[in-house]
Structure 1
Amino acid sequence: MAQSRDGGNPFAEPSELDNPFQDPAVIQHRPSRQYATLDVYNPFETREPPPAYEAPAPAPLPPPSAPSLQPSRKLSPTEPKNYGSYSTQASAAAATAELLKKQEELNRKAEELDRRERELQHAALGGTAIQPCFFQDISMEIPQEFQKTVSTMYYLWMCSTLALLLNFLACLASFCVETNNGAGFGLSILWVLLFTPCSFVCWYRPMYKAFRSDSSFNFFVFFFIFFVQDVLFVLQAIGIPGWGFSGWISALVVLKANTAVAVLMLLVALLFTGIAVLGIVMLKRIHSLYRRTGASFQKAQQEFAAGVFSNPAVRTAAANAAAGAAENAFRAP
């Protein structure tokens, strides 16, 4: 048996042994659609372009549902509530803040009343604590629309007291320069000791009580006494020599003797003038406020009668007088 020269398969056909393109490694690389080469590329061959991109159609919207006829559910206490627009919420917040402010003011007044009640009970039980002669708290006891007026009157009383002290110093200086002004110096001491407490008790306290409790009787007491006080303010500003007031006339008289003392007295006269003008203005203002409060003379009479008959000392004196009169009537022949 003859063998091939290449040492291949001796039983293969001669054609298969001599054709190298029948090798499987070569066959798998033949030109095809899947394995493109330059042999299969034809530039004149027309191919259809790929179809253009089309966006998918949007899905149709669901039809609007009819409004629910079910009743609105109730919100729980812890669930936040919707109060409407921003302006509505702002107005509600402002109203809430105002209510809180009023509530705090009422709480302060209640605490102050409780404190005063405890002090009165302590005093009634024979407490040894020192109690003030006068108690005032403008921010707590006076209504807000009258607080500015009451404060101005308090400052007016303080200024009048300061003016009397300066008047005393000016009269002392005048007495040192002119020894014949001894009467004016003595009267200046009397005015300081007399007008300082009397002005506080006689016209400031009635005015304070009138605005605190809307008392017609205290209003009438204030008007009568403060009118007299305004007249005294005017006399103090005029400064009649020998009256103990360092007014304009007294200052001009002393100007010939000593300029420095005259300047001091002129400053006191200027202070007296300002106090007199402010006193007249405040008297008119308080009178206008009094007319708007609805007070009257009949109401003042009723308050006076109620106050007199509610006073234990007055009732005791009246009962003793009536008993004495009745006893004398029975003893008469």
Structure 2
Amino acid sequence: MSKYTNFPEPGDDHNPFQDPAVTQHSSNTEYATLDLYNPFDNKNGPPPPAYAATAPSAPQPVVPATTPPSRTTPTEPRNYGTSFTPQTAVNATTAELLRKQEELEKKARELERRERELDSHALGPGATRQNNWPPLPSFCPVGPCFYQDINMEISQSFQRTVSIMYYYWMFTACTLVFNLMSCLSLFCVDTSGGVGLGLAILWVLLFTPCSFVCWYRPVYKAFRSDSSFNFFAFFFIFFVQVIFYVIMTIGIPGWGFSGWIVSLAALKTSVPVGVIMMLNSILFTAQAAMGVVLLKRVHSLYRQTGASFVKAQAEFATGVMSNQAVRQAAASATASAAQGAFTGAAR
């Protein structure tokens, strides 16, 4: 049996550690064992390959654990602290942009005012711009009577109000023309209304130019030059005009206004004519209501401009004394009075 195996017989005195395979392995220093390798002997050199493969990895640095934020209850207010959040930065930037925008708008208004002053000085004391209103064709024998440029002469903060007043004047003129057509239609079915037709023609010819000159031009010049006198002239004349608009809305028979009384009476004569006159009554009602609203709006702006009755008196006195015709009339009256007094004293 011993010839087939390498194991010794039980009776042989055999040392298992003297086996050639074990002895060969023990003499090879390439493989580290606990008996042959001490990691504390060579501190600077690397460990053998076998030991390096099984060497434990370097310990990871200990990171101190942060205390988790305490959760707040739904009713407990959160303490956000005074940290500078992105929303705070956005709010600060928006406020800064709004402030700069206000400064730029003030500078733009100031530059616009100075530009108007320079233009007025460049024209000279006695020179005026070429009139452009009403816009008449070149072949018309009558030329424009006024110069009007809202974008140029009126401050930007008042341009909208002046434009609305101009469109309101155009609306009143168109309403008067429609009133003339209503009275003409009533005259066609009832020839006894000739007086109303004649007065309707008179109102168109009278109110259209007079309203432009008497209350629109004053409010235009008031916002153009911050004139207290023109403000007061506008308030007085426009208030009287609004009273006339209320009378137009009522429609007193024989006054030439297609108001509610005349319109309802015309329905008995002719339904189509009555309907036309009722449409005119609606326009008169809207005209009166808009007049009251615009009067209050201009008055609110007047209080913001710093105008007063004392300034209006001073402007009136200055304007009267600066008028060449008034000065000549006053000088002639003074000379005549002085001559009469001297002649009386000589006698």
TM over 0.5, shorter chain: yes
Aligned length: 268
Q: Secondary structure at the match of 2:310?
A: helix
Match of 1:135 among 117, 142, 147: 147
Query: Cα deviations across residues 263-287 of structure 1 (Å, max 9, x unaligned)?
Result: 1110011100111122123223433
Would the alpha carbon gap of residues 310 and 42 (structure 1) be closer, same or farther in structure 2, given more than 3 Å must change?
same
Query: Cα deviations across residues 21-71 of structure 1 (Å, max 9, x unaligned)?
Result: xxxxxxxxxxxxxxxxx9x9749965343444877999xxxxxxxxxxxxx
Across the aligned residues of Structure 1 and Structure 2, the Cα RMSD in angstroms comes to: 3.5
Partner in structure 2 of residue 76 of structure 1: none
Would the alpha carbon gap of residues 43 and 262 (structure 1) be closer, same or farther in structure 2, given more than 3 Å must change?
farther
Q: Whole-Å Cα distance in 2 between the matches of residues 184 and 254 of structure 1?
A: 13
Report the more deviating stretch, 222-231 or 146-155. Answer: 146-155
Would the alpha carbon gap of residues 131 and 323 (structure 1) be closer, same or farther in structure 2, given more than 3 Å must change?
farther
Q: Whole-Å Cα distance in 1 between the matches of residues 131 and 163 of structure 2?
A: 26
Q: CA deviation at 1:142?
A: 3.7
Q: CA deviation at 1:146?
A: 3.9
Name the TM-score, length of structure 2 as normaliser: 0.65
Conserved 8 A contact 1:109-1:140: no
Q: Which amino acid aligns with 2:321?
A: F
> Relative contact order (alpha carbons < 8 A, sep ≥ 6): 1 or 2 greater?
1
Match of 1:254 among 266, 269, 285: 266
Match of 2:32 among 24, 47, 61: 47
Q: Secondary structure at the match of 1:190?
A: helix
Would the alpha carbon gap of residues 100 and 296 (structure 1) be closer, same or farther in structure 2, given more than 3 Å must change?
closer
Q: Which amino acid aligns with 1:238?
A: I
Name the TM-score, length of structure 1 as normaliser: 0.68
Match of 2:180 among 168, 192, 196: 168
Q: Which amino acid aligns with 1:261?
A: V
Conserved 8 A contact 2:116-2:153: no
Partner in structure 2 of residue 219 of structure 1: 231
Q: What runs of 5+ residues in structure 2 fail to find an aligned partner? A: 1-20, 34-49, 62-88, 134-144
Match of 2:316 among 284, 304, 307: 304
Conserved 8 A contact 2:132-2:148: no
Among the aligned pairs, what percent are the same residue? 53
Would the alpha carbon gap of residues 286 and 122 (structure 1) be closer, same or farther in structure 2, given more than 3 Å must change?
closer
Q: Whole-Å Cα distance in 1 between the matches of residues 253 and 115 of structure 2?
A: 53
Would the alpha carbon gap of residues 102 and 160 (structure 1) be closer, same or farther in structure 2, given more than 3 Å must change?
same
Q: Whole-Å Cα distance in 1 between the matches of residues 315 and 120 of structure 2?
A: 23
- 1:149 equivalent in alignment to 2:161: yes
Report the more deviating stretch, 108-117 or 263-272. Answer: 108-117
